[in-house]
Structure 1
Amino acid sequence: MTDEKLFSQPDAKQWTPTPDGNRRRVVLHTEELMMVEFGFEKGGIGAAHSHPHVQSSYVAEGRFEVTIDGRTAIVEAGGAFIVPSGLVHGVKALEAGRLVDTFTPCRADFL
């Protein structure tokens, strides 16, 4: 396995705009697991969607209104949530913030 698959430095990856007006950068990935950082401005929306991947998300900065399968909670910096495969989910940034998401398996559509 290459060093690029084992380690990542903060400025090693470029931000990419997302279709919903936010930004993301793939931090690390293998075929089995992927880590992606998402940046949101205050009021930014992560549109409701679903995918077959299991997702875990850590709130690195900010506060988010998170809806998973019709259930909503406010999750702030230091908090986290899990999205089981196939459930509809989305977020709204209540203040500027960052989410660090992990997906299994890897999201090939982000590469």
Structure 2
Amino acid sequence: MMPDFYTLPESLTWTETSPGNRRAVLAHRPEMMLVAFSFDKGAIGALHSHPHTQVSYVAKGSFEVTADGVTTTLPAGSSFIVAPNLVHGVVALEDGLLIDTFTPSRDDFL
């Protein structure tokens, strides 16, 4: 039996969040969470805010990222950080994958 602090790909549960978007919680504790977000080309992560600090890594594809009203294009290998309550969102310019860390944990994702 695998301890709780490991996650294998076959054990992931993907949840559709909106058309062309899905997420899977990779790891979590109350103080931190790691989440994968998969996007089809053209899919939108709508503008939103939350009380968590968020760090995002572009693992695949490229994204138009808007944070605090400023929009930029980020290719694979890029990252961005979002302060609590800052309005932000993305548009997938091609099929893509974001790996997001939240602190504290996003209990609404569990």
Q: TM-score range with shorter-chain normalisation?
A: over 0.9
Cα offset, 1:11, TM superposition: 2.1
Q: Runs (4+) of structure 1 moved beyond 2 Å? A: none
The letter of the residue matching 2:39 is F
Task: Give the aligned partner of residue 25 of structure 2.
Answer: 26
TM-score normalised by the chain length of structure 2: 0.95
Equivalent runs, 1:96-111 vs 2, <5 Å: 96-111=95-110
The letter of the residue matching 1:29 is H
Task: Give the aligned partner of residue 80 of structure 1.
Answer: 79
Equivalent runs, 1:1-111 vs 2, <5 Å: 3-4=3-4, 6-18=5-17, 20-21=18-19, 22-111=21-110
**Percent identity at matched positions?**
56
Q: Secondary structure at the match of 1:99?
A: strand
Aligned residues: 108
Cα offset, 1:9, TM superposition: 1.5
Give unpaired runs (5+ residues) of structure 1: none
The letter of the residue matching 1:97 is G
TM-score normalised by the chain length of structure 1: 0.94
